[in-house]
Amino acid sequence: MKSIKLKINTKTQKYSIIIGSNLGANLSKILEENSINFKKCLLIIDRNISKQFISKIKKSLNKKNIFIHLFKANEINKNFSSASKILDVLLKKNFSREDCVISIGGGITGDVSGFAASLFKRGLKFVNIPTTLLSQVDSSIGGKTGVNTKYGKNLIGSFYQPDLVISDVQFLKTLPKRELICGYGEILKHSLIANKSFYKFLDKNSDKVLKLSSPFIEKAIYESCKIKKNVVEKDEKEKGLRKILNFGHTFAHAYEASLGYSKKLNHGEAVILGMKSALNFSSKKNLIQKNDYKSIISHIYKANLPSKINKFFKIEDLNKILSFMVKDKKNNSDEINLVLLKKIGYPLINREYKKNILAEFLKNELRN
């Protein structure tokens, strides 16, 4: 398959997303073609990445001065301590701002690596090689980096755009179905907030996308990235339009945090549950067109996506969920800020609701 290039142009950075197959073996050439030059390079690699992929990348970079930092990627390790360990390596090896950090892993690896890269000497070159479907269509685009704390998810972080993103679909073939569903959730989200024709494509071909059939998976990644690119270019720092990317996320982050970021519920699964909650709330408030609502709910069931929060939570968890929703970084007052949906392609931002309204809604969600 011929690789596809998508160019991102924000106020702070211009960079490319390259989508293709077996790109790791040609990494050195790709970096040169995109003017990414350096003397030293720190590869921050998720421990789950196979030795075969790592050896391909190392072989491609054989003339470079390479250092390797292995990272155990999970939500619990997405913290200051992990970022500090990366900074220690960069300092001990005397990296300069002209040198480079290359992240090879999913969204957690990319977020922590990008956060450390943004802090080191106020920023050095950063290349992101996302290896999960979720990170290829979401976290690798747009420059959000960050870590979790006991107070919530991603409350400490920075906007730091990468110099290059390389999405190799070969990595996806090693992923379990659960990880592919996590990525599909964000692909579906992008279609719902921005592009009805893309949603129709997914509604018709979700099984082919989830089976990584070509050219369906490449089209899904490309169209999803294009939607996020268009949003990020218009609103890099999330002052307005970019808020639409948070559709379902106020619920989702609270669900994750309430479970202590455990493996019981991955981020992408939480996003799907969060979107379902946001859709149900949109319906309850008579905001969403009935036909679109029925179609999306049907799609969630047809694609066998996570759909019921009461599989993960009991009514006793209600106050814990609400406490995290109140602390969400999108809130500007005591009320809870939600992104809802009017119809496919028309999200509604800055919808604020009192805690007691959300409490009553979630009680019903947990009982049904």
- Render pLDDT for 195-215 as a digit per residue (tens, 0 to 9): 999 999 999 999 999 999 988
What pLDDT is attached to residue 1?
A: 60
Angle between helices 196-210 and 290-302 (to 10 degrees): 10
Please give the domain boundaries of the chain with CATH numbers for all domains.
Answer: 4-174 (3.40.50.1970), 177-367 (1.20.1090.10)
- Residue-wise pLDDT tens digits, 5-64: 999 998 888 999 999 988 988 899 999 999 999 999 999 999 999 888 888 888 888 777
C-alpha distances (whole Å) from 51 to each of 31, 55, 56, 71, 314 are: 21, 6, 9, 14, 41
Q: Which two tokens stand for residue 32?
A: 């040169």
The closest of 258, 298, 283, 295 to 361, measured between CA atoms, is 283
**Six-digit token string for 67:** 């250092």
Residue type, 20: G
Q: Strand 100-105 vs strand 65-71: parallel, antiparallel, or unpaired?
A: unpaired
Q: Is the pLDDT of residue 220 over 70?
A: yes
Number of residues that this document lists for the chain: 368
pLDDT of residue 293: 98
Rounded Cα–Cα distance for residues 227 and 141 (Å)? 10
Mean pLDDT of the chain: 93
The token pair that represents 120 in the structure block = 């080191």
Q: How far is CA 362 from the centre of its chain?
A: 25
Please answer whether residues 267 and 135 qualify as being in contact, where contact means their C-beta atoms are separated by less than 8 angstroms.
Answer: no
Phi and psi angles of residue 64, each rounded to the nearest 5 degrees, phi first: -95, 160
- Specify whether the CB–CB gap between 154 and 139 falls below 8 A: no
Residue 328: its pLDDT value, please?
81
Which amino acid would we find at residue 38? F
